[in-house]
Amino acid sequence: MRSLHLLVSNALVVHDFAPVLLRDLKLHSLDQLAAHFSEEPSPRLDPDLATWQAWLLRSRSRANIAEVFAQAYGRPVGSGRLPWLLEPVHFQVATDHLELEDPGLLNLDKEEAEILAEAARPILEQAGWMLDATIPQHWLGLRPHPLDLSGPSIERAIGGNVGFLLPKDQGSGAAKHWGRVANEIQMVWHALELNQLRERQGRPTINGLWLSGNGEGGSDFRHLHEYAHIVSGLPLLRQFASHPSKREIDPAMSLRTWDGLITPARQRDWSNWRNSVQALDLYVADVIEDLRKGRIEELLLVLCGEHHVRVGRVRRNDLWKIWRRGRAAELFSDVA
């Protein structure tokens, strides 16, 4: 069966808020999907990952997202070394706490990343880390032994109160030790000409290093290997899409992501979020046409929210049941 998996990030909103947000929008295609949306049981997800990451990895607990990045970018981690993600970030001062700004807005280029990496490397090496900074915004920190730390992926933490999201341990003191390392790197970076230049240019400074990955090996990637085609603007999936030869391809399955809701949802810009939903409706019209004409036989629609996902199927034969009626607000309501 030719099947399209369509993943929409930042789609779900509070149940009572969805009808208000979508009021007055003409969403004919999404209304059709709502009418035929055969919902599947809500999966349990790893709370340290963004919901779209957790769904793609089918991971319920302690997935090592750093291993996924290492594999996607073809970075060998070496025998006995466990990878973590170390990602340069900007912490924004809010009213009474620090928030993690969307790293996609940093526009960190390779030359800038190299300057930051060289400044941080001696501090990390002294603390027992080997740094692979080949990927500009997604560095790999390698350690020979497991580390008693866990923390959310950067996608999960964006816009959140940093104080509640920093890595934690189980009483080993590893979190406190990492905090000292991160603070030392912050101080060194603060004095860099690079950051002073970015500040003069009105660009966000790079004032922190985000640690995630949880350090557990053996993460399961098979769900990322089953797609014959991947079309996505998400950095990790875009990288997988560029290496089809590395995948055990199922020619009947393809994956697309709709990323237009991500930025407005993170910025709580609900006006632009509405505009993006309208654009999604136009996109879905083409998908429905593919269903009608048999170019695909099944759509698996994956709608992601902050903590939950809603997954449902729409099959080609469902479209003939024209007596069914649905409303798009039903799709975007986080009912969990």
Q: What's the rounded Cα separation, in Å, for the pair 204 and 90?
A: 7
pLDDT the model gives residue 80? 65
b/e 299-317 (16+ beta carbons within 10 angstroms → b): bbbbbbbeebbbbbebebe
pLDDT the model gives residue 245? 45
What is the residue whose two structure tokens read 């006995």?
80
The DSSP code sequence of 196-213 is HHHHHTTPPP--EEEEES
pLDDT the model gives residue 171? 87
Is residue 135 within 8 Å of residue 73, measured between CB atoms?
yes
Q: What's the rounded Cα separation, in Å, for the pair 174 and 162?
A: 18
Three-class secondary structure of residue 233 per DSSP: coil
Is residue 240 within 8 Å of residue 230, measured between CB atoms?
yes
Is residue 227 within 8 Å of residue 244, measured between CB atoms?
no
For residue 198, give every residue at least 6 positions away whose Cβ sits within 8 Å of its Cβ, in sequence order, or none: 204, 205, 206
Is residue 17 within 8 Å of residue 306, measured between CB atoms?
no
Extended strands (E) in the chain: 3-8, 13-14, 38-39, 82-89, 91-93, 98-100, 130-132, 139-143, 208-212, 227-231, 250-258, 298-304, 309-315, 333-334
For the chain, which ranges sit under pLDDT 70? 1, 59-63, 78-80, 214-222, 241-250, 323, 336
The DSSP code sequence of 266-280 is HTT-HHHHHHHHHHH
Q: What's the rounded Cα separation, in Å, for the pair 8 and 257?
A: 6
Longest dimension (CA), the chain: 68
pLDDT the model gives residue 78? 67
- The strand pair at 333-334 and 13-14 is best described as parallel
Q: What are phi and psi of 303, to 5 degrees?
A: -105, 120
Q: What's the rounded Cα separation, in Å, for the pair 307 and 279?
A: 24
> Over the stretch 122-153, which tens digit does the pLDDT of each residue have?
999 999 999 999 888 899 998 887 788 888 88
> Over the stretch 193-228, which tens digit does the pLDDT of each residue have?
999 999 999 999 999 999 987 645 555 566 777 788
Predicted structure pTM score = 0.87
Give the end-to-end CA distance of the chain in Å, rounded to a whole number: 30
Q: What's the rounded Cα separation, in Å, for the pair 198 and 220?
A: 39
Q: Residue 165: which of 232, 85, 64, 97 has the closest Cα?
A: 97
Is residue 270 within 8 Å of residue 285, measured between CB atoms?
no
Which two tokens mark 227? 């797609």
pLDDT the model gives residue 170? 85
